[in-house]
Structure 1
């Protein structure tokens, strides 16, 4: 099942000409020393403070509803429906703004949580907000209809035509429905990443269109100065974070310190490595294992960003990414030309040395997920024996960066283990079929007997990572010591 060496045929090799060109442009990452910067350790209280702020917002929203007669209005059927509808609408609005804030990429917030966990929380908050939005619409409509001679349909028509901002709110609801429907996992899998990302931007439109009717007719928005200031402030804060951190900061960085493609080469069939350089690299201060949102300005489609992890530890002069061709964005990498302008957002992610809590580390990567693992192997401060690397692939040809990993591990005194073979049929596991007789935990313990004493870093396909994560937990690794990055949510 395993080997600590790679036979010559196991690693796809570049031609001598391509290899020489790459070395002349950027230098082999495992034949140079990365610039050693102090590791940025993220304080855990940042996470606790942000979570407390989230619950305080919801608590304050509920308190305003109570203060403005929310409980007193529950005495009649019409009042109960309308008052409950108001509460669900208020909470839905607050969650919608929280959802926007989660993905605004505020640096301190992102460092505390990581894009992986923020994106999954964003998804959960989004579906909750959407369900509460529809509860608000149904309850408010039924409540008004119960007290109106117009009846149900007459009340609906009256709402849409005669209440300020309701047509805009209707359009906003349609936009949010489009976003939610395409975010359901089955629908998401049928869409290209680029198409899904474009549709997802309608969420901002939906939030913006819903704002006028709330500020013009919402009782809790107008009942007191405190309410008006709170809601206007909340909307303004979310808008500002998006404009500053998703638009302004990346644009300023790209204009002040432009980046350009330095070299492009085929790492293996269907896998491309791109090296980027420029004065902006030193200012970004990325850590090994992190990722950026990349835009290569080479023609149509450049406006859509794609997330790629660094496949080498930053050296202050260059950034290197390696990606498999799985969509339009990644396929375009192979045709990039040196000199192409590059726009980036980041760095993002918590898969970096700053989250490390133990001296001993286990790095596990599968498929193209080996790229941040390779960067971590280079970037981690380590003595011989501190680091073990498990590289998983189905076939010898799929050991992307295997040659580099082997040489880098040898140079740094790390143990490099390859696990080869197709997965066990009908079983969610990180092990190959040759190890079907072992449980996931037993297989991991066999390869790394002291795994319980290590931090574990994981990157690969979602199902593989979940199986590897569970195996680590079953071997006694605390959940806080398992670090991973998902790119599917």
Structure 2
């Protein structure tokens, strides 16, 4: 069984076992309310608390899950879990209030006003309000209007939600306080989730950055709005970084400590230095060219499974669009990539082809074929339709395909690959839909 299958089996087992235990606790506790509304509300509360522990584990960026499944798929799970938390956070208090309202024979609003005067309930309602705010700003329309930095900052409210949720459970929990065993299980589950969060989001990054002491070694403009930052430090080989992976970068003094950006390595790591290349589209990336040599660097990672370790064969197709060329260029430099390599680089014009000189030199050294696909997409210029891509790469179904670029390009390529029946195990995409 492959590593991804093992990881998925482990995740499935974890969910099934815990949901079974939660239902057992609910049944053992007996009727916790005076009517069906209250019963449903209490059960939804257990679901909500469990979903929050799952969410904490997802944003903890556990290395094992990242390597086996990939940060993009984990972020997809984070998004789905987030919407589950949202609906449970809305439905849980709604049913609880309906239960009390029916029992006391007063209106829903009057019951809600009375309950909200109790501190544990008030904290829970504040947590619900924060969840609604975060989800509202995460829907596609709102997300497009926010910078990555602003979106990431808003999501830090989820840590406040976790704290409020735990306090609310301490005062309001009943189903998991029936026996010592249920208490051990429930708080052990929370301890694992919070422990993983603290370990991999705080302790490990702080320890690594103290050890490696990374600094800016050089800042090299690549074009009008693209810049490369070379980073050096101590014992960088101990990071275990691979071509195609990315780090979360902070530049103390350049931006606020909570502002972080995911940038891929644009050169294969050599154990002595790291290089990122970014286009100035946000506050952080736009100001990278002003970084002084010697400036401190705080990097969290490496993350991502967009590496040649995921290949199922030896023939490879690398597809890049725009600034998505950075991990592709890194992969092309990987000494273990092999020689049967084709690179497709999609840009509007030759002037937009970032790192093209390096790509050509690497392709020449490796014996790879490089195709630069230029021009605006139109009815007569659509290189990634099934017919056009198959004509350009006749043996595409026998190749592992790595694709990174703007969402529209990546989606078009993935749709075409499915149409051409390229096996799923041979398709690898870097989407950068990163959970904060």
Moved over 3 A (4+): 41-44, 433-436
CA-to-partner distance for each residue in 1:309-358, whole Å, 9 max, x for gaps?
00011111010111100010101111011111111100001101111111
1:298 Cα deviation from its structure 2 partner: 3.0
Asked whether 1:479 is paired with 2:411, we answer no
Instruction: Give the SS at the match of 1:274.
Output: strand
Output the CA distance in 2 between the equivalents of 1:451 and 1:220: 55
Equivalent pairs counted in the alignment come to 433
- Give the conservation status (yes or no) of the 8 Å contact 1:421–1:434: no
Asked whether 1:256 is paired with 2:211, we answer yes
**Partner residue in 2 for 1:116:** 72
**Partner residue in 2 for 1:107:** 63
Gaps (5+ residues) in structure 1?
A: 1-40, 425-432
- Give the conservation status (yes or no) of the 8 Å contact 1:215–1:222: no
Q: What's the RMSD between the two structures over aligned residues? A: 1.9
Taking the TM superposition and a 5 Å limit, the aligned residue runs for 1:465-476 are 465-476=410-421
Output the CA distance in 2 between the equivalents of 1:51 and 1:372: 31
Output the CA distance in 1 between the equivalents of 2:218 and 2:161: 41
TM-score w.r.t. length of structure 2: 0.95
**Partner residue in 1 for 2:277:** 322
**Partner residue in 2 for 1:173:** 128
**Partner residue in 1 for 2:381:** 435
Output the CA distance in 2 between the equivalents of 1:152 and 1:276: 59
TM-score w.r.t. length of structure 1: 0.85
1:289 Cα deviation from its structure 2 partner: 0.3
Output the CA distance in 1 between the equivalents of 2:107 and 2:253: 58
Q: CA 1:102–1:290 in structure 2 vs 1: closer, same or farther (change >3 Å)?
A: same
Instruction: Give the SS at the match of 1:210.
Output: helix
Output the CA distance in 2 between the equivalents of 1:187 and 1:244: 32
1:46 Cα deviation from its structure 2 partner: 2.6
- Give the conservation status (yes or no) of the 8 Å contact 2:216–2:296: yes
Output the CA distance in 2 between the equivalents of 1:183 and 1:382: 37
CA-to-partner distance for each residue in 1:458-489, whole Å, 9 max, x for gaps?
10011210110111122221112111111246
Q: CA 1:469–1:153 in structure 2 vs 1: closer, same or farther (change >3 Å)?
A: closer
Output the CA distance in 2 between the equivalents of 1:302 and 1:43: 34
**Partner residue in 2 for 1:26:** none
Output the CA distance in 1 between the equivalents of 2:335 and 2:96: 56
Gaps (5+ residues) in structure 2?
A: none
CA-to-partner distance for each residue in 1:187-245, whole Å, 9 max, x for gaps?
11111111111110101101210222222222213222232222211221111111110
Larger radius of gyration: 1
- Give the conservation status (yes or no) of the 8 Å contact 1:254–1:344: yes
Output the CA distance in 2 between the equivalents of 1:280 and 1:205: 36
Taking the TM superposition and a 5 Å limit, the aligned residue runs for 1:318-467 are 318-379=273-334, 381-384=336-339, 386-424=340-378, 433-436=379-382, 440-467=385-412
1:409 Cα deviation from its structure 2 partner: 0.6
Output the CA distance in 1 between the equivalents of 2:394 and 2:433: 31
1:268 Cα deviation from its structure 2 partner: 1.0
